[in-house]
Amino acid sequence: MMMLKLAEHLTMGQRSSWYKIALALILMTYLVNSVAGQALTPPNFNLAVGRKVEATSTCGVGVTEPELYCKLTGANPDKEDVIGEFEVIQGQLCDYCDAREPSQSHQPEYAVDGTERWWQSPPLSRGLRYNEVNLTISLGQVQHPLTY
């Protein structure tokens, strides 16, 4: 009320400016209070989802039989057992890759499809050259040659 009484002594132009400033302050106060304690960050998203993915090699691709691969885990090395769909061999969880069988296929696009499927590199039993395998994700950017 006191502010409104102060505004009564102002000219019409001054009063209009004063009301704009008061409205801006009220709006700013509302905005500050509504986001208090919240981080202003953009939403996260995977830029690679739905993009073309290629691998220099993939487990189960280019071979004639299903291919055994193993993951290092904390499994008990003294116990040969089956855990879920995996077999424990010398303390590692093992399974087979087979590109012809959808449930055992681990294609490159699975690396970024947002599901629980995954891309699997070939096992080193196929050869040491598979110690280094590359995944290439095309983000769809067009490269323009520079001319001078």
| Whether pTM exceeds 0.75 | no
Is the separation of the CB atoms in 116 and 124 below 8 Å? no
Write down the pLDDT at residue 99: 94
Q: How far is CA 59 from the centre of its chain?
A: 23
Overall size of the chain counted in residues: 148
Q: What are the average pLDDT values for consecutive 10-residue runs of the chain, which has 148 residues?
A: 53 68 76 65 77 93 93 62 68 90 93 88 91 89 63
Is the separation of the CB atoms in 124 and 39 below 8 Å? no
